[in-house]
A and B are shown apart, each in its own frame.
Chain A
């Protein structure tokens, strides 16, 4: 289980990195960030990139700060950075809670937030967060910079809108209103395993009713997404078992789950229902 040979490039600046990426992208070149998903795929020789552009030494990509109402997360920011609350208020708390579900501690010390988004594994917790909170992804290449909405960015199982020569330089998460409530629930076989289903719910209460309700589901379909059919059932309603059940049923109805011998579609659908309801209960 030894990786196939590749050429290694360790640029120091973003411009060097993008220039290098532009050069090697057509030659099966890839970005190496935390490497916690890529390197296993290489060890199994499923992935055999001819070039790796290691961005771990690139200055400026370790940004983790608030900027114009967003939390900006640079390409080098590791999962472990979120163990402590990175912002006061609900967003920091939400990220800290979700971080505990991301694989295991020694993986979190290497793996990066943006790397998870770019890998777009259906089971990725950060992808659900990005999709649910409508994160914006900033993709840079020698050709320029473009900003993508989560809805456009995530296209399918391990498939994103990123071009081969593009680097996901940073992700921008909108700050949450101080009174935002949230709940995150995930089901996996063992501690730290790939999630089979996840749900993230956020809402605020105004005069006792839910507003700005968001519900995102991950692991169930090929890509994480918000479920408008469920959100609409929450908006303007008082939090309560009945409402939550209705929203959970709507979520279960409207997903088109992945289907494989191990976890049939029907099972993933049931999990989507359970995780949704529990996330809502947790938030309330």
Chain B
């Protein structure tokens, strides 16, 4: 047998074009005669559209067309990805706003011109008169009016199990917290882009710039246009990062398609950074009122949470998925005898929100782990010990919760949570770390450490398929319905195929994101690609191997079980140097005999449950008491992925996720003024971490608990770097300033932290109010 590449940190197949400037991103795609589209957006957060005057814009140089809502009246709004939803459909965003605007950045008109500069010139000439209405800027405020018939709370998600009331009645201690997670988002370095093109000869509509879920997006756009999906093809080129926000259906995707259809010329739209920050999905913002009941040992008896999910102005393609995932994943890796949650899904006059890497878990983990730290502080138990006492033991796996997440019953497939906690603590040298910090605090430094544990989910079913084919030159093509957002899908699929088939992974071409090549595909989201598509590739490649050996056995006149495939050659197991046959020749002979489709095989993988990777984050921070500044000195992320196909890529996923998690914990926030004007519309105001804000993190990739749900034991690795960053940083800051429970809101900006420190200083300087009362 040849050394396996699955499990090896092999170099990526993707890289060469990307380091030599040969990438083909949406912005790099051009067609002769193309028009450039510019969207005219609302500058008011809430208001009635009085008039939209496009006459000056239409008269401007190089302008082909200007449309308003009236011109696209026949279009249906963009529907939810999972299909019609009686509760949310009445709230869907129109392609162009006609009567009301509900957030700054909402598309009101669209200009088509000869070049992007002229398009922007003309867009400035569109005069929109809006009668402002009072904006609703907080999901916690009493719901307001969405329209004359509807309020701004489309739904409340309620879940739970066990006798919560009894648990709280008999609790030794009850702890209640008010916690907020800020509004931030994926913000990939490449903004969105879409190029629509109509091939009248074949009545074929094409859109370039697809990402994430091209097949779903095709169906979504087809529904809006009332077009047969078979006559709409989407093409994914290189994609400059997605993180959940890119690749969903947005009004602009529909508009380039409609433009190409109506104007008979290709239409190109490239989002600019201002647009990206006000028009592409936001995420995360929630406010939780959470209570936990515990016994004297700090064991959780019940968790009761009521939270407000700030959805922004409209539901987007995910509907209520983020709020739902929050409710389904909140209990995390802990035993929780009773649980009750109510998620108030509310609309506000902000940019609409949807999924961002680790949706619902980043939020929920912050809430749950803040509660654990509070329990530890209240009962005077070590925070690590409190967690240990509540962890679900390995012996209870698989562990069923009377709960569902996005419609999938929560059954934790495998895990040894306590063991990973030990690995993480050993990884940072926890005991020595504690004594070092103690010494430094004694010397006046505000330094501290925090631990947070979390549960992730991946491999959402139900099924995915792949084709593997050996061509007559011996090249192997793996055809998938997956998508690449830069995470290394091609390399990972090639590795899996290489081992199953017996060829060098570098000879394998992986196709993804082309809706005209394969009928179905789940794309790449929710850490599904490696689990679902990877398993399908494994099945297809295994079948392909069997077919090749069977065919070769006939040709070589040896029994199949005497044969093996090594480095693309069919060889005899007993004497590898004896007669052998190139896969290319097997392929040739098959097609010569005209047998079937040549040397090819199809593989499908189905699963009825998600699987659950899990992790531990440990943060060490230093606080500047005078400025409220926070420096992350050290960070460790430990993650159990069941089986690591390419450890180098997984470490990269965790490092990258961590940067986003720390961004949301310390820097990134979409701010608004009281009128609903966004204040984070440039990269000077929306603060992404630079190398200077990032610690050189330690990563532990663990393979203790392979998933029993797929042949390779894989769990998705895309999100574990993000999930607990907010929670770990909050705990570390509390520890550094010596104020348990100080951090209740993310991000922890210098101004907010300084305010916390000042309040503490004040109350310390004042006499305790008790005495004051007695004197009266």
Contacts and interface: CB of A to CB of B under 8 A. Distances in A.
Give yes or no for direct A-B contact (beta carbon below 8 Å): yes
A266 to B, nearest CB: 9
Interface string B754-767: 10000000000000
B148 interface: no
Contacts of A5: 117, 121
A156 to B, nearest CB: 21
Given A191-B692, A262-B671, A270 B626 contact: yes
Interface in B136-172: none
A1 to B, nearest CB: 4
Interface stretch (B69-77, B682-690, B731-739): B682-690
Interface string A1-38: 11111000000000000000000000000000000000
A190 B690 contact: yes
Contact of A44 (B667, B682, B751): B682
B117 A190 contact: no
Interface string A257-269: 0000111100100
Interface string B652-679: 0000000000000001000101000001
Interface string A100-132: 000000000000000000000000000000000
Interface in A178-204: 187, 189-194
Interface in A246-284: 261-264, 267, 270-271, 273-274
Contacts of A262: 671, 679, 751
A84 interface: no
A191 B693 contact: yes
A146 interface: no
* Band of interface residues on B: 20 to 34
B673 A267 contact: no
A267 B751 contact: yes
Contacts of B684: 193-194
A259 B689 CA distance: 25
A261 B120 CA distance: 31
A267 B754 contact: yes
B751 A1 contact: no
B53 interface: no
A1 B272 contact: yes
B627 A271 contact: yes
Contact of B673 (A4, A261, A271): A261
A106 to B, nearest CB: 13
A251 to B, nearest CB: 14
B693 A1 contact: no
A117 to B, nearest CB: 20
A27 B627 CA distance: 45
A234 B273 CA distance: 48
A189 B751 contact: no
Contacts of A187: 627, 629, 750
Interface hub of A190, A264, A270 (most chain B Cβ within 10 A) = A190
Given A2-B117, A267-B754, A190 B687 contact: yes
A141 B762 CA distance: 56
Contacts of B687: 189-190, 193
Nearest to B191: A1
A2 B116 contact: yes
Interface string A36-71: 000010001100000000000000000000000000
Nearest to B628: A267
A261 B124 contact: no
Interface string B105-123: 0000000000011001100
Nearest to B691: A191
A2 B115 CA distance: 11
B667 A263 contact: no
Interface in B623-667: 626-629, 667
Contact of B274 (A1, A263, A270): A1
A45 B626 contact: no
Nearest to A278: B626
Nearest to B275: A1
Nearest to B673: A261
A44 B274 contact: yes
A261 B754 contact: no
Contacts of B629: 187
A3 B673 CA distance: 27
Given A193-B684, A261-B671, A271-B627, A45 B692 contact: no
B693 A190 contact: yes
B679 A261 contact: yes
Contacts of A2: 116-117, 120
A147 to B, nearest CB: 33
Contact of B667 (A3, A189, A273): A189
A101 to B, nearest CB: 12
A179 to B, nearest CB: 29
A263 B124 contact: no
Contact of B626 (A190, A191, A274): A274
Contacts of B750: 187, 189, 267
Contacts of B667: 189-190
A267 B626 CA distance: 10
Interface string B695-715: 000000000000000000000
A249 to B, nearest CB: 13
B749 to A, nearest CB: 8
B673 A270 contact: no
Interface in B419-454: none
A109 to B, nearest CB: 18
B94 to A, nearest CB: 25
A44 B273 CA distance: 10
Contact of B754 (A1, A3, A194, A270): A270
Interface string B363-388: 00000000000000000000000000
A274 B758 CA distance: 14
Contacts of A45: 120, 124
A189 B679 CA distance: 16
Contacts of B754: 267, 270
A5 B124 CA distance: 13
B274 A191 contact: no
Contact of A264 (B124, B274, B751): B751
A271 B671 CA distance: 22
A191 B116 CA distance: 33
B269 to A, nearest CB: 13
A1 B684 CA distance: 15
Nearest to A192: B690
Nearest to B685: A262
Contacts of A192: 690
Contacts of B626: 270-271, 273-274
A192 to B, nearest CB: 7
Nearest to A268: B751
B404 to A, nearest CB: 41
B751 A190 contact: no
Contacts of B120: 1-2, 45
A262 to B, nearest CB: 7
Contacts of B679: 261-262
Contacts of A270: 626-627, 754
A199 B100 CA distance: 49
A2 B62 CA distance: 16
B668 to A, nearest CB: 11
B625 to A, nearest CB: 9
B666 to A, nearest CB: 9
B627 A274 contact: yes
26 contacts: A1-B120, A1-B273, A2-B117, A2-B120, A5-B121, A40-B682, A45-B124, A187-B627, A187-B629, A189-B687, A190-B689, A190-B690, A190-B693, A191-B691, A192-B690, A193-B684, A194-B684, A261-B671, A262-B671, A262-B679, A263-B751, A264-B751, A267-B750, A270-B627, A274-B626, A274-B627
Interface of B: 116-117, 120-121, 124, 272-274, 626-629, 667, 671, 673, 679, 682, 684, 687, 689-693, 750-751, 754
In the complex, the 4 A-B pairs of residues with the closest C-beta atoms, listed nearest first: A191-B692, A274-B626, A1-B272, A2-B117
Given A3-B117, A44-B274, A190-B693, 7 more contacts: A2-B117, A4-B124, A40-B682, A189-B687, A191-B692, A194-B684, A274-B626
